[in-house]
Amino acid sequence: MSGRKKAASKGINARALRRMKSASDWPRVRREATSGAEPDMRGRADREASLRAFSRALKRRRGERGAQKAPTKQAISIRLSRDVLGHFKSSGPGWQGRIEAILRRAARL
């Protein structure tokens, strides 16, 4: 949907749409267009600022888990009967760990 159609769906007329402030940095766009330089060929300061912004975006937020440093477990797929799976799930969170503990005891690990 174009910007005009979105504006129309929100009840904004054409005159109000023309008065709205654009989020684009038009002076920079014009400068880059007239200089002939590719956007990727900007100055070092711009690249460093972009890298800083990118690294901030990649940082974990509070409560988010990061990647495992040294994975100690391997994801697998196992088929269990519904009653067995229901038994472990009914005892609440941690049911996968309980299944692993029983398998460890059975394998004598």
Over the stretch 49-101, which tens digit does the pLDDT of each residue have?
777 777 777 776 777 777 777 778 888 999 999 999 999 999 999 999 999 99
**Are 33 and 20 spatial neighbours (Cβ–Cβ below 8 Å)?**
no
Question: Does the pTM of the predicted model rise above 0.85?
Answer: no
Distances (CA, A) of 57 to 3, 62, 65, 68: 27, 13, 15, 19
Separation between Cα atoms, residue 16 and residue 7, nearest integer Å:
9
How big, in percent rounded to 5, are the helix, strand and coil portions of the chain? 60, 0, 40
Amino acid 7: pLDDT: 54
Residue with tokens 């890298």, as numbered in its chain: 51
Separation between Cα atoms, residue 17 and residue 3, nearest integer Å:
9
CB-CB neighbours of 32 under 10 Å: 15
Among the listed residues 60, 64, 96, 62, the one whose alpha carbon sits nearest the alpha carbon of residue 78: 96
Specify the amino acid at residue 12: I
Amino acid 55: pLDDT: 75
